[in-house]
Amino acid sequence: MDTLFFIFSKLVGLCFQIETWLAVTLAIAAFAGLLGRKRLSASLSAAAFVAVTFISIFPVGEVLLAPLEAEYVAQNIPEHIDGIIVLGGVESPRKTLRWNQPQLNDASERLIATASLAIAHTEARIVYAGGSGRLLDTVSGRAPLPPIAIEVFSSLGIYPERIIWEDQSRNTAENAQLSFDLVQPAPGETWILVTSAFHMGRAMASFEAAGWLNVVPYPVDYRTGSFTGGMGWDFSSNLEDLNTAIKEWVGRLAYQLTGR
């Protein structure tokens, strides 16, 4: 059932990507032009042009991400913590394998914050929760994953013996459940949860559903700023933020409906 949910969620996510709709619109416009439906072709082409222009100028994705990021703020860390859980998705395995050097993506603040906490709290264990979230790996079989996060932590002076890598999970619900099964935290333990701010609400709900108690949220990787400050011409960045926001809102609804 979990695998079916994962595959279905990936396919739905593909359908909700803005570039999918732009490509479909332009394809229909081209096909309509070939059939002599010039007015329809022109209307669809104009609609695609307006959408690209609007996304390029206005940071719409930030508007949708802002309420998600405002849900949680970093709390005061207790004097003693038993562990730190950091959610995966920060690494770039393909580039790492190509250049034989750990490569990270836009969410690398997750590792930076975790390392900072781990250095300040030497008693805490570290759980890096995340395997491959690629649909192709689930369908055709997963290739071995390079231990990117462990290499990064080790380079910062954190002993590998403190790190537990949960490398089988493919989404947030599995992050929470498989980490819980692996660690078996005692009821009185305090754990810090590190993930991107826009994702923290869904992550906290999943961890609570999996049975984690006394989890302290530590959001990082903020994507939003002032609206006017984000206006300009930046199609790729604005498109990425918009896709991220849509994915998170849809994912949150799906998790609520399925109790994940």
Domain ranges of the chain: 2-68+231-258, 74-220
How much is the pLDDT for 214? 87
Residue 50 exposed, middle or buried by CB count within 10 Å (0-12, 13-18, 19+): exposed
Looking at the chain, how many residues does it have?
A: 260
CB atoms within 10 A of CB 43: 14
Using an 8 Å Cβ cutoff, are 242 and 55 in contact? yes
How much is the pLDDT for 144? 64
The answer, yes or no, to whether residue 148 has pLDDT greater than 70, is yes
Task: Give Cα 24 distance to the centre of its chain.
Answer: 26
Nearest-5° angle of CA 113, CA 114, CA 117?
85
> The domain 74-220 is classified under which CATH number: 3.90.190.10, 3.40.50.2020, 3.40.50.620, 3.90.440.10?
3.40.50.620
What share of the chain in percent tops pLDDT 90?
A: 62
Please give the single-letter amino acid code of residue 195.
Answer: T
C-alpha 75/C-alpha 217 separation (Å) is: 7
* pLDDT tens per residue across span 187-235: 889 999 999 999 999 999 999 999 998 899 999 999 998 877 778 889 9
Using an 8 Å Cβ cutoff, are 239 and 185 in contact? no
